Amino acid sequence: APIDRIRAQVLSGILANERDPNTVAQQRWLRAIYGEHPYSRSDQGTKDSLTTISADDIKAFHKANFARGGLH
């Protein structure tokens, strides 16, 4: 399924970022500055969040935020 392929691609990026000292330092810096605010979070999500997102979740998000009448 397409979601599995994309999930694997995002996971590969997350794992690569975990091995990159610059990215690790940047994430720690953002956490120190912003604490628990969403600005401190990676836009890729986490390994854990990837496993909990379903195709239905993505469809519901799209319908609520990008469907006609829901554009912001």
Give the pLDDT confidence of 4-45 residue by residue, as tens digits: 999 999 999 999 999 999 999 999 999 999 999 999 999 999
> How many domains is the chain partitioned into structurally?
1
Task: Specify if 72 maps to a domain.
Answer: no
pLDDT at 72 over 80: no
User: Which pLDDT score, from 0 to 100, does residue 66 have?
Assistant: 84
Domain of 32, in residue numbers: 2-65
pLDDT band at 70; cut points 50, 70, 90: low
Total Cβ atoms within 10 A of residue 45? 15
Task: Specify if 20 maps to a domain.
Answer: yes
Task: Specify if 71 maps to a domain.
Answer: no
d(CA 34, CA 12): 26
Task: Specify if 70 maps to a domain.
Answer: no
